[in-house]
């Protein structure tokens, strides 16, 4: 834990003349979960897509410490390197599972795809690993040959998580992982995610508008407004003692049951 995993310097993204996000800088350490919160249109998703190299930022850089210890600017990687990184060392959990899953192939193949992509050519072993991962995300073993189309929203989301974690990534990006799920399913998913993140020592960046998700999952959080990070700090500190007026508004407008 002597070195960070990700180092972001002055990341800025413009869509034409319109600002997506501006001057974002932070460091992420191994095993740390960072939440990015803010209202719709505040630049959270733009930031996440830039960090995960889905979008090319207008300026700034994102350095990532590769497995061999080398620091690389992810926007300067060749496309082959970047795609390899994205499907081995990284994971991306989409809000809508259909974006992250192959809906027309079975659950087992969905989990196994990354293994096959890195060269595993043993059916039995791939299937065993898939079964193991389905178990870890609480999907019954007899559903392995079913397509995700036959799964409920919560199951799809858990399958997406299994599919991403199977190669043992070190960094996972999550875009509203609990969006569109009902509360009890959300609670289960959060519980599962928290367990997995702790158990595997994953670093994660979670974009959410739900402060409860941030509170439960993250160690640190950044609050965004109109493209700028207006407040950052330990999650409990930010939520219990918000400094900025906007953060105070955000925290106070959250419904308490």
Residues near another protein (CB under 8 A) are 79-80, 83, 102, 105-106, 108-109, 112-114, 116-119, 121-124, 126-127, 144-145
| CB of residue 110 to another protein, shortest distance in Å | 8
* Separation between Cα atoms, residue 137 and residue 233, nearest integer Å: 30
Give the 3-state secondary structure of residue 181.
coil
Least Å distance, CB 97 to another protein, is: 17
Chain Cα centroid distance, residue 174: 2
Residue 139: CB atoms within 10 A of its CB come to 22
Smaller CB separation from another protein, 107 or 197: 107
Coil, helix or strand for 38?
coil
Contact 233, 220 (CB under 8 A): yes
CA distances from 100 to 43, 175, 180, 197 (A): 21, 11, 15, 19
- Kindly tell me which of 124 and 245 has the beta carbon lying closer to another protein: 124
- 170: CB partners within 8 A, 6+ apart: 5, 30, 67, 89, 90, 202, 203
What are 57's two structure tokens? 């930022």
Nearer to another protein, 27 or 146 (CB): 146
Give yes or no for a contact between 190 and 216, defined as CB atoms under 8 angstroms apart. Answer: yes
By beta-carbon proximity to another protein, the closer residue of 15 and 123 is 123
- Give the shortest CB-61-to-another protein separation in angstroms: 23
- Work out how close the CB of 72 gets to another protein at its nearest, in angstroms, rounded to a whole number: 18
Query: Which CB atom, from 97 or from 108, has the smaller least distance to another protein?
Result: 108
Question: Would you state the structure tokens that stand for residue 155, as one six-digit string?
Answer: 């199951």
Nearer to another protein, 150 or 183 (CB): 150
> How many angstroms separate the Cα of 106 from the Cα of each of 62, 93, 144?
35, 18, 7
Q: Are strands 18-28 and 71-73 parallel, antiparallel or unpaired?
A: unpaired
* 210: Cα separation from own chain's centroid: 15
Q: CB of residue 46 vs another protein: minimum separation in angstroms?
A: 23
Least separation in angstroms between CB 166 and another protein = 12
- Distance in Å, CB of 112 to another protein, minimum: 6
């Amino acid at each position: 834990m002597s070195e960070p995993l990700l180092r972001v310097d002055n990341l800025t993204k413009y869509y034409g003349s319109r600002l997506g996000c501006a001057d974002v800088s932070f460091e992420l350490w191994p095993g740390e979960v960072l939440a990015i919160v803010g209202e719709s249109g505040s630049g959270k998703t733009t930031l996440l897509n830039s960090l995960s190299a889905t979008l090319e930022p207008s300026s700034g850089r994102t350095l990532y410490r590769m497995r061999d210890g080398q620091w690389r600017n992810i926007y300067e990687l060749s496309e082959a390197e970047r795609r390899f990184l994205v499907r081995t060392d990284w994971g991306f959990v989409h809000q809508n599972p259909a974006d992250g899953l192959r809906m027309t192939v079975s659950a087992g193949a969905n989990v196994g795809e990354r293994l096959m992509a890195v060269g595993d050519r043993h059916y039995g072993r791939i299937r065993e690993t898939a079964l193991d991962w389905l178990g870890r995300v609480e999907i019954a073993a007899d559903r392995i040959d079913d397509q995700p189309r036959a799964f409920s929203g919560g199951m799809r989301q858990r399958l997406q998580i299994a599919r991403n974690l199977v190669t043992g990534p070190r960094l996972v990006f999550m875009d509203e992982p609990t969006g569109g799920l009902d509360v009890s399913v959300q609670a289960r998913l959060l519980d599962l995610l928290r367990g997995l993140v702790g158990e595997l020592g994953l670093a994660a960046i979670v974009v959410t508008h739900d402060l409860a998700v941030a509170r439960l999952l993250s160690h640190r959080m950044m609050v965004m407004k109109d493209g700028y990070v207006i407040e950052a700090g330990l999650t409990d500190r930010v939520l219990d003692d918000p400094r900025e007026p906007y953060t105070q508004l955000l925290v106070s407008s959250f419904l308490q049951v």
